[in-house]
């Protein structure tokens, strides 16, 4: 099994990007604390704060992305031999 050597800048980006998403969701949640309800077809959810809805959506997106990465076999990109 090949080991994955990442550039330090890529490692930093892997930490900074999710951190920025968490900060953005926290700011939006604090500024929009009014309860909202979700409607889908004829169904309606209970009223919950917008921040909670955003957090659930972000978490669901991360889980779906991770599952797709596992199912589709996330292969690393091949680097071209040109320089």
> Is residue 62 a part of any domain in this protein?
yes
Domain that holds residue 45: 19-71
pLDDT of 46 > 80? The answer is: yes
Give the predicted TM-score (pTM) of the model.
0.57
pLDDT at 80: 59
> Is residue 80 a part of any domain in this protein?
no
> Is residue 78 a part of any domain in this protein?
no
The mean per-residue pLDDT over the stretch 46-75 comes to 83
The count of structural domains within the chain is: 1
> Is residue 55 a part of any domain in this protein?
yes
Of 82, 77, 80, residue with least CA distance to 10: 77
> Is residue 35 a part of any domain in this protein?
yes
CA angle centred on 69, ends 79 and 27, rounded to 5°: 100
> Is residue 14 a part of any domain in this protein?
no
């Amino acid at each position: 099994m090949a080991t994955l050597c990442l550039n330090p800048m890529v490692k930093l980006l892997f930490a900074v990007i999710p951190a920025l998403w968490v900060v953005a969701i926290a700011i939006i949640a604090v500024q929009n604390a009014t309860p909202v309800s979700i409607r889908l077809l004829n169904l309606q959810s209970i009223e919950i704060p917008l921040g909670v809805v955003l957090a659930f959506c972000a978490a669901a997106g991360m889980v779906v992305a991770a599952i797709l990465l596992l199912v589709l076999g996330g292969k690393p990109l091949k680097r071209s031999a040109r320089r």
